[in-house]
Homo-oligomer: A and B are copies of this chain.
Amino acid sequence: MYNPTKPYTKQIIELIKETWDTPFVSVKNGIILKKFAFPEACSSDGIGTKGIFHWRCRSFRNAVLDALAMNLNDLVLLRARPYKLQNHILIPKEDNEAIIEIISKLSDECKKRNIAITGGETSIHDNIIGMDISITADGFVEMPKVNKFEFGDVLIGIKSNGLHSNGFTKVREIFGDEFKDEFIEPTLIYSDIILDVNKNYDIHGMMHITGGAFSKLKPLLKNTDVFIKREHKLKPQKIFFDIYSKGVSSEEMYSTFNCGVGFILGVPKRSAYGILSDILRVGFKADIIGEIVPGEGNIKIESSFDEKIIIL
């Protein structure tokens, strides 16, 4: 729990209180009353070593977006609408301004989405370089559905915002002390539009492209392969070409980084253009990037970095 003896705790409580009455829950004296009776799903994730750069640049809003995105984009794979979350903030030294800024941005984002911030913890860890924000978010699932691609599915990719929050250990290995603005760009939150699409269309399978990148698609296959073609509008951003040019292989690129594609949906051919236009309408860049073909559970990608066809 937020340490009641810390000077900023009163302010934290004031900020999170603004999220305590939603269409889904009401929170009072630490007790959470739910206004629904659906099955639930839960996600935990943090921002990893990207927190080194957010702390250095004090890009706290982006850090919050990263932490939220990592969880909401995972929850939506289970078709779960988030209704509450807890946060755990690790910073290397006391910094009231940082803590209040983080909670305040988090509260803003949660209010937009009817997510109650039911509590959390701020820890001062002088054994960490940089910061971490870890979130555990709960959602409810009105209509549970298995997350699997089907033969014949069209793959819709939604463009990423660059590196997002993965592969930063590799990034730091490659760039050493060099800093690039791209290191602190926030992860895009896809869950709002996906929840909308899920209401109107039958999504067979979907994946948030994070740690493990395109190899995360494997568990969604059954007697099928993923085929991702070279010719589509979601070209890797410049930062990925920078990384590739430092001697990282195509295989490693596609199994470590999103390479421009932050989220992938597998949908029946007949609904592909309807879904695509819904996604484009709210401002994301998206395109049809491939399809599900008969196979043995492999991911085949025509690399955008060279002439190779990668198999993961």
Contacts and interface: CB of A to CB of B under 8 A. Distances in A.
Interface residues of A, number: 58
Q: How many copies does the complex hold?
A: 2
Contact of A44 (B5, B6, B52, B120): B120
A128 B130 CA distance: 9
Contact of A46 (B6, B30, B123, B144): B123
B84 A44 contact: no
B3 A136 contact: no
A141 interface: yes
Interface string A205-229: 0000001100110110000000000
A132 B125 contact: yes
30 contacts: A1-B45, A3-B211, A4-B216, A4-B218, A5-B215, A6-B212, A29-B146, A30-B78, A31-B39, A31-B40, A31-B144, A32-B39, A42-B118, A42-B119, A44-B87, A44-B120, A44-B136, A45-B121, A46-B121, A46-B123, A48-B123, A49-B126, A51-B127, A86-B136, A88-B88, A124-B169, A126-B169, A127-B130, A128-B129, A138-B138
Interface of A: 1, 3-6, 29-34, 37, 39-46, 48-49, 51-52, 74, 78, 84, 86-88, 90, 118-121, 123-130, 132, 134, 136, 138, 141, 144, 146, 169, 211-212, 215-216, 218-219, 255
